[in-house]
Chain A
Amino acid sequence: MPDSKKTFQLDDREVPFREGQTIFDAAMAAGIFIPHLCHNPDFEPHSSCRLCTVIVNGRPFASCTQPAVAGQMVQSNTPELRDMRRMLTQMLFVEGNHNCPGCIKSGHCRLQATAYELGIPDNHYQQFFPLREVDASHPGIILDRDRCILCGLCVRISRSVDKKNVFAMTGRGIDTTIVVDSPSGLLVDSTVSVDDQAVLNCPVGALMLKRMAFDVPFGDRTYDQALYSEDSVARFQATEANRHG
């Protein structure tokens, strides 16, 4: 049960929280959106994309893993942090090969939706144009590493929810990439299946089901209907309501 006595200050609002709740969860429950890409509130946080960085009593922390403490002062929607989130999003665009107009995830993609909502006019930095492997070996699933933002959601979900460990990271630094657990290293002889949560929860177009590209027409897609922030807060609050009545 929420303890009405426990609150912290988030920008100009008092936000209530439960003991052990993160700043991110408390904010979202209160209807305040904090941009995020590697985090999906349905799963364990990971604090790697750093978009959800907030300033807590003058020091930066990733809000998705930082526990809320009564009375602390948290800044999130400041010009400096908005700038930093823009830069982080631009970085994610230039390190991969993201071509929104030609991408069938367009409209459902959280990277694209974040870029629109943060008001990013261009990628600013020089494109890396990395050579990355596309794995279309599986009859029902495609792994397009060009569009991967290395959020690690598929790795975490396949391990903890699907109980399969289909995905892992290899390489280091800018050469980090997703590997598939199978003798060939391809999806086709792995244990992945079309109903794996790891596949269905990819925030971008890296893991997608085949033959679903145009199930919803452009213009009617998730982020054509609502801003990422609105959709995300609504989903979060619905899940919270289910969990805590």
Chain B
Amino acid sequence: MIRAVSTPAIEPVSLILQHYERDPGELLQILIEVQHALHWVPEEAVALVAAHLGVTRAHVRGVVGFYSFLSDAYLGEYVIYVSDNITDRMQGSEGFAKYLCSRLGVPLGQTRADGRVSVHFTSCTGMCDQGPALLVNTLPVTRVTRERLDKIMELITARTPVADWPAEYFEVSDNFRRSDVLFRRVFEPGEALQAAMRRAGDDTLKSIRFEESVDPASGVSWKRGADETLKELYRSDLRGRGGAGFKAAIKWETCRDIPSPERFVVCNADEGEPGTFKDRVLLSSYADMVFEGMTICGYVVGSSQGILYIRQEYWFLKQALEAVLQRRREAQLLGENILGTGFRFDIRIHWGAGAYICGMETALIESVEGRRGKPRKRWPLPVVAGVERRPTVVNNVETFAAAAMIALKGGAWFAGHGTQHSTGTKLFCVSGDCERPGIYEYPFGVSVREVLRDCGGLDAQAVQVSGPSGTTITRPEFRRVFAYEDLSTVGTVMVFGPKRDMFDMVRCYTHFFKHESCGLCTPCRVGTSLLAGLVDKVAEGKGSPMDLEDIQHISQLMTTTAHCGLGQTAPNHLMDSLVKFRGDWDKRMMVAEFAPAFDLDASLAEARQLTGRDDAAAHL
């Protein structure tokens, strides 16, 4: 790229480094601060950071190259990311991106020659209920309209700092449309933790001093209240809300029972699955409940360190989350002597930098340790050797929130809601073609139709459940229910109205997976690119039956041989679409059995340009 523009001075890097220990685990956090300060990570910064942490420059370059929000090219004073979920597209995001680029005079993905601004697409920013959305210098702009874009461009032209822009641009609503037993009442900070500690049957917390409860045999610090709370978790039958549905109690108990001098409690707030935004709402309005769930987990498993791993798209929550943590420390709900029992636990926030793969727990742990978010080998599991190779519980934000309520009200209470195999309630993130997008809490067992009725989307032709890695549901299936025994879900419900071309969704998501594949394993790294290429070929009207056969074979290969869940589930939406919306494919198909992807005439364009010819003989 052209480096004619003057870039910010490197000085802030030294200041940033002063705030960090010489711990390689801090690498990603340091690079995020450098990126925010300079709007790129120049080679001089790479050298300074590498020297400070005692890692190689290549390692630092490797981390910069991995995360979408870190850049080795200068991105300009104003960095605009246009959220690129299908729901954003349905609300006109592609046109808005073009409009921005043409009015600002900058090609997509490049920095304007004067260094003022650059415009990029980014994967879903978690604002699907109030899109289309942008991120401008890390802050979300919601409900984008052409008028709003015009105002924003004026502010950029006038070089008005983003901090001085009208606050309403950055307004993020919870849109909590329906609450049930978990989120109906106001949560009092500390109430669940006290309930957990009192489960021993004692009246006062003083009688259960933590140090007295060290198990002499194992040296593990846990005690009766913790044991009883774990029993309640078993009674609740709570299953992980991140989508996989693993039983939380088994995970916690396994972590507790592995001998180790330290354990970790990690809250997964990466929330990268397009169409998902419940963690945003939980951390905006129920952060105490989430942190309390983490603290209870620490108490049960015998851990003193909690980590909230949160996606950078939610940077706007940073101050509020830090304030909640500080308030909890002051209230003795975190820190060295929690509720006077001697139990020690604290939570630190660890930011991601734009990588869907980091929602995968082993990739998340790599990222927590400051490296590229590359999934680890299958064994050992994180619960055995996670953060710093110590036993680690990784649970979703919603799982911790539910655990807090279970500690407070008991497992039987929780299990009294939902279905036999899917207890409790679940948050649903509803977006797309409906009248009332937002968050809905339902007991498990609710049908697709009920959700559609409540959100005003009954005329839908399809619902994408659990995001692009999930399942496409059509009208005859709307009676199916959300539960682990039927439609297992992370809670994402994207509604597609009767006039939508479902092929557009497929095209959006094949490119999403191509962009988000970590590149570790062959089937996912190459397969996602091949699939995107084949879908584009069909989109251009050049698809043939042979291409569909290739799509099917590659999908099967990925499902069987990919290293992790990303590659294994990436073709799901394609497979569903080929069966359920074949019409949207067929209308684009060529009749021939085979059509070459290579366009001979188009490839002669360069020769025509060089020779200055454009006559008939210069064309095929």
Interface residues, chain A, with chain B CB atoms under 8 Å away: 45-51, 53, 60-62, 65-67, 84, 87-88, 91-92, 94-95, 125-126, 128, 150, 165-177, 179-183, 185
Q: How far is the CB of B363 from chain A (nearest CB, A)?
A: 11
Q: Which residues of A contact B61 (CB under 8 A)?
A: 168, 170, 179, 185
| From A61, A88, A166, residue with most partner B Cβ within 10 Å | A88
Tell whether, in the assembled complex, residue A50 and residue B379 are in contact, meaning their CB atoms are under 8 Å apart.
Answer: no
CB-CB under 8 A for A150 and B525, given A168-B56, A182-B57:
yes
Report if A171-B59 is in contact (Cβ < 8 Å); known contacts: A67-B379, A84-B557: no
Q: Are A171 and B66 in contact (CB under 8 A)?
A: yes
The stretch from B159-167, B281-289, B527-535 touching chain A is B527-535
B63 to chain A, nearest CB (A): 8
* Contact A84/B560 with A168-B61, A169-B372, A172-B519 known, Cβ cut-off 8 Å: yes
Residue of B nearest to A37 (CB): B522
Count of chain A to chain B residue pairs whose CB atoms are closer than 8 Å in the complex: 130
Chain B residues contacting A53 (CB-CB under 8 Å) are: 560-561
Which chain B residues border A87 with CB–CB below 8 Å? 553-554, 557
Chain B residues near A175 (CB-CB < 8 A): 65, 519
Cα A31 to Cα B56 with chains together (Å): 41
The verdict on B508 contacting chain A, using a C-beta distance below 8 Å, is no
Q: Are A173's CB and B525's CB within 8 A?
A: yes
Among residues of A, the one whose C-beta sits closest to the C-beta of B533 is A126
Residue pair A66, B378 in contact (C-beta under 8 Å): yes
Q: Is the CB of A88 within 8 A of B58?
A: no
| Contact present for B525 and A176 (CB under 8 Å) | yes
Instruction: Report the Cα distance A48→B66, complex, angstroms.
Output: 17
Of the candidates A49, A88, A166, A172, which one forms a contact with B517 in the assembled complex, judged by CB atoms under 8 Å apart? A172
**Set of chain A residues within 8 Å of B56, measured between Cβ atoms:** 165, 168, 181
Report if B338 contacts A (CB, 8 A).
no
Docked-complex contact B561 and A84, CB < 8 angstroms: yes
B62's contact among A95, A125, A169, by CB below 8 Å, is which?
A169
Docked-complex contact B522 and A172, CB < 8 angstroms: no
Please give the distance in Å from A58's CB to the nearest CB on chain B: 11
Scoring B residues 24 to 47 as 1 if CB is less than 8 Å from chain A, else 0, what string do you get?
000000000000000000000001
Bound complex: CA A136 to CA B103 (Å): 44
A residues within 8 A CB of B562?
50
**Contact between B57 and A181 (Cβ–Cβ < 8 Å)?**
yes
**Which residues from chain B contact A125 at a C-beta distance below 8 Å?**
530, 550
> Which B residues are in CB contact (< 8 Å) with A173?
514-519, 525, 528-529
* Contact pick for B523, options A67, A88, A185, CB 8 Å: A88
Whether A183 contacts B560 by the Cβ 8 Å rule is no
Contacts of B378 in A (CB 8 A): 47, 61-62, 65-66
In the complex, residue of chain B having the shortest beta-carbon distance to the beta carbon of A64 = B377
Task: Please give me the residue from chain A that is nearest to B50 by CB atom.
Answer: A181
Chain A residues contacting B64 (CB-CB under 8 Å) are 170
Task: State whether A179 and B58 are in contact (beta carbons under 8 Å apart), knowing that A48-B522, A88-B523, A174-B517 are contacts in the complex.
Answer: yes
Q: How far is the CA of A173 from the CA of B511 in the complex (A)?
A: 12
Known: A168-B61, A173-B514. A62 touches B563 (CB 8 A): yes
- 6 smallest CB-CB distances across A and B, nearest first, come from A170-B65, A176-B519, A181-B58, A168-B58, A91-B526, A173-B517
Cα separation A33 to B56 with both chains bound (whole Å): 37
Residues of A near B557 (CB, < 8 A) are 84, 87-88
Q: How far is the CA of A150 from the CA of B563 in the complex (A)?
A: 15
Known: A91-B526, A170-B65. 19 other contacts (CB 8 A): A45-B377, A47-B378, A50-B562, A51-B522, A53-B561, A62-B378, A67-B379, A92-B522, A95-B529, A126-B533, A150-B519, A168-B59, A168-B61, A171-B66, A173-B514, A174-B529, A179-B58, A179-B62, A181-B57
> Is B412 on the interface with A (CB-CB < 8 A)?
no
Instruction: Specify which chain B residues have a CB less than 8 angstroms from the CB of A150 in the assembled complex.
Output: 519, 525
Are A48 and B563 interface neighbours, CB within 8 A? yes
CA distance A169 to B65 in the complex (A): 9
Can you sample 6 A-B contacts with CB below 8 Å?
A: A50-B563, A95-B526, A169-B65, A170-B65, A171-B519, A183-B57
Secondary structure of the B contact surface, majority rule = helix
Instruction: Please state if A91 and B530 are interface contacts (CB–CB under 8 Å).
Output: yes
A165-B58, A171-B519 are known contacts. Are A60 and B561 too (CB-CB below 8 A)? yes
Q: How far is the CA of A153 from the CA of B47 in the complex (A)?
A: 25
Tell me whether A174 and B597 are in contact in the complex, defined as CB-CB below 8 angstroms, given that A48-B563, A53-B561 are known contacts: no
Closest to A52 in B: B561
Interface magnitude class on chain B: 35 or more
Give Cα distance in the complex from A163 to B533, angstroms. 40
A92–B62 alpha-carbon span in the complex (Å): 22
Contacts of B59 in A (CB 8 A): 165, 168, 181
Measured CB to CB, the nearest residue on chain B to A51 is: B522
Q: List B contacts of A67 (CB < 8 A).
A: 379
Least distance between A166 CB and chain B CB atoms (Å): 8
B554: chain A residues at CB < 8 Å are: 87
**Nearest opposing residue in chain B for A125, CB measure:** B530
Q: Given A48-B521, A173-B518, A91–B377 Cβ distance below 8 Å?
A: no
Q: Give A125 to B557 CA distance when docked, in angstroms.
A: 14
Which residue of chain A has the shortest Cβ distance to B530 in the bound complex?
A125
Smallest distance from the beta carbon of A218 to chain B beta carbons, Å?
28
From B58, B66, B522, B597, give the contact of A180 (CB < 8 A).
B58
Q: Which of A53, A60, A88, A176 has the most CB of B within 10 A?
A: A176
Question: Across the interface, which residues of B come within 8 angstroms of A94, CB to CB?
Answer: 526, 530
- With a cutoff of 8 Å between Cβ atoms, the chain A residues found around residue B518 in the complex are 172-173
A91, B515: Cβ atoms closer than 8 Å: no
**Chain A residues within an 8 Å CB radius of B530:** 91, 94, 125-126
User: In whole Å, how far is B341's beta carbon from the nearest beta carbon of chain A?
Assistant: 41
A125 to B549 Cα, complex, angstroms: 12
Q: Does B355 contact A (CB under 8 A)?
A: yes
Distance A87 CA – B68 CA, assembled complex (angstroms)? 29
Contact A49 B521 (CB under 8 A): yes
The chain B residue sitting closest to A93, CB to CB, is B526
Nearest opposing residue in chain B for A67, CB measure: B379
Q: Is B155 an interface residue (CB 8 A)?
A: no
1/0 contact trace for B548-585 toward A, CB 8 Å? 00100110010011110000000000000000000000
Q: Which of A168, A172, A182, A185 neighbours the largest number of chain B CB atoms within 10 Å of its CB? A: A172
Q: What separation, in Å, do the CA atoms of A65 and B378 have in the docked complex? A: 8
Q: Is there a chain A Cβ closer than 8 Å to B520's Cβ?
A: yes
Residues on B with C-beta less than 8 A from A168 are 56, 58-59, 61-62
**Residues of B with C-beta under 8 A to A45:** 377
CA distance A51 to B526 in the complex (A): 14
User: Cβ of B379 and Cβ of A65 under 8 Å apart?
Assistant: yes
B399 → chain A, closest Cβ, in Å? 25
Distance in Å: Cβ of A62 to nearest Cβ of chain B: 7
B180 CB, nearest partner CB in chain A, Å: 36
- State how many angstroms separate the Cβ of A201 from the closest Cβ of chain B: 18
Q: Which residues of B contact A181 (CB under 8 A)?
A: 56-59
With both beta carbons as reference points, the residue of chain B lying nearest to A167 in the complex is identified as B58
- How many Å lie between the Cα of A23 and that of B400 in the bound state? 37
User: How far apart are the CA atoms of A128 and B528 in the complex, in Å?
Assistant: 13
CA distance A88 to B557 in the complex (A): 8
Residues of B within 8 A of A65 (CB): 377-379
Query: Which chain A positions have C-beta within 8 A of B519?
Result: 150, 169, 171-176
